[in-house]
Structure 1
Amino acid sequence: MDRSVIRFSHCQKEIFCFSVPEECPSCGEELRGSRLQEAPISLPSPFTNGHKSSCCLLVAPAHDNINREFGGTSELHTGISNTTGVVYNYTQGGVRKDQSGWERCVSVPLVRPDMFHLLAQWDQYLDRFSDGPMWDPAWHRFHEEDHNCFSFCLQFVNSVLAAEERSSLTRETFTHSFILPRMKRVSKYNTLYDHIQRHRYYMIDRQEDRQDDTPVSS
């Protein structure tokens, strides 16, 4: 996905494409020099560089996902970024601290920018948590169902919430409230992108484009 998706409005349609055409694909009117209902905008990609997204839960294609895809049947992997963009993630060999490999992923903000006290302790929390025996292969083996990369992330989030004297989150609540909405957006974006690649355009009646990036801590 090396091209940006552009959206512009004409004849009460929202038209998605990679570049504004000379003629409206809906009504055939020449667009060059004409006034559109609004200026073309570039749709924000649902993907971010995890190494530039501090204090986030990150979802990326698994290391053995050869095509690095986010398809519905693709294996995915999760991790937690520290304040400098190092991604802590739990694997069969224990906790990894990746400085590369998470350049295209989905991020879930975990800390509000104004929570300075938590930001100051985040790296310390993450280091201490990842050094625990729960994530040492000599003590606990990786299990695909109940002791995996997502278990590591969720238990870390709950350990921070406990330190902040906040209620913990269940796997179901965290998944449905914070993960699934973003993955649905990825699915819609991928479908839109593939449609434009095949047909050049995608058209719908005018509607608002929404995005939710509310930090978990709020």
Structure 2
Amino acid sequence: MEQPLEPAVIRFSHCQKVIFCFSLPEQCPSCGEELRGSRLQEAPVSLPSPLTSAHKTSCCLLVAPAHDSKDKDVDGMSDLHTGISSTKGVVYNYTRNGVCRDLTGWERCVSVPLVRPDMFHLLAQWDQYLDRFSDGPMWDPAWHRFDEDHHNCFSFCLGFINGVLAMEGRSSLSRETFTHTFILPKMRRVSKYTTLYQHIQRHRFYLVDRQEDTQEDTQEDTDLSRVQFHKDSLDSGH
């Protein structure tokens, strides 16, 4: 089932402030000047959400809230579940009942692409690799029991990724290396975006000083790097 669309965060500049909100206001929240018909320092831009539907991805590692978690946001505070998407967006994930192949339920998650678009030989074999790996005895409840600490959904994902790396003649990745290199940067971005989003929901705007000496913003990461959240700023109207 499709999740309802959330309003997008937009960013624009005025009176030496960078302003984040859901829609362009009639007046600048900083100086009060009328914005309708006025010339902005730059055109408003939309910040894409770092969350996506896994079922629209191909060959990705997915991180989502655990199905039994009361907190359905991927904010670093909720229990998380991981899976691997097929070329058709089916999410293979390991649970206490073995490997599930989910067609729905992963509509809000973090995706980490695992295969370059030009790796045609790997793309052609991806689904076959996934099926073969998922059918192995390591993930059969009759042979191995799910363990939250040592034999879990992430063990399944990392085991599959390292199996593919081995077939490609490349070195395997440790859990620590993969987590710190590929997952944590994505999760930090999600956490920052979520905090920004919730602040705008409460206060309508988030304002920061414009940094004239920075390069022109062309990437979403640069947009979010402007946002520095502190307790004082979150409790205020800024």
Taking structure 2 as the reference length, the TM-score comes to 0.86
SS at match of 1:39: coil
- Residue 9 of structure 1 is matched in structure 2 by 13
CA offsets per residue over residues 61-96 of structure 1, 9 Å max, x none? 111013412233311100000000100000000000
Which of the residues 70, 73, 80 maps onto 2:77? 73
Moved more, 199-208 or 75-84: 199-208
What runs of 5+ residues in structure 2 fail to find an aligned partner? 212-216, 223-238
Match of 1:30 in 2: 34
Contact 2:82 2:154 in 1 (8 A): yes
Residues 154-204 of structure 1, C-alpha deviations (whole Å, 9 max, x = no match): 010000000000111010010000100010011001100111111110011
- Specify which of 185, 190, 215 is matched with residue 181 of structure 1: 185
In the alignment, which of 174, 187, 191 is matched to residue 195 of structure 2?
A: 191
Q: Any conservation in 1 of the 2:75–2:191 contact (CA below 8 Å)?
A: yes
Structure 2 equivalent of residue 144 of structure 1 = 148
Amino acid at match of 1:171: R
Q: State the match for 1:100 in structure 2.
A: 104
SS of residue matched to 1:38: coil
Aligned mate of 1:58, from 54, 58, 62:
62
| 2:95 corresponds to | 91
The 3-state SS of whatever aligns with 1:9 is strand
- Name whichever of 198-207 and 41-50 sits farther off: 198-207
CA RMSD of aligned residues (A): 1.4
For the residues of structure 2 that align with 1:182 and 1:153, how far apart are their CA atoms? Answer: 17
Structure 1, 131-140 or 1-10: larger mean CA deviation: 1-10
Q: For residues 102-142 of structure 1, what are the alpha-carbon distances to aligned partners after superposition, in whole Å with 9 as ceiling and x for unaligned?
A: 11110000000011011001001111000100000111100
Tell me which amino acid in the other structure corresponds to 1:33. Answer: G
Task: Structure 1: state its 5+ residue gaps.
Answer: 213-218
Instruction: Report 1 or 2 for greater relative contact order, CA contacts < 8 Å, sequence distance ≥ 6.
Output: 1
Identity of aligned residues (%): 76
Aligned length: 212
CA distance in 2, matches of 1:148, 1:9: 46
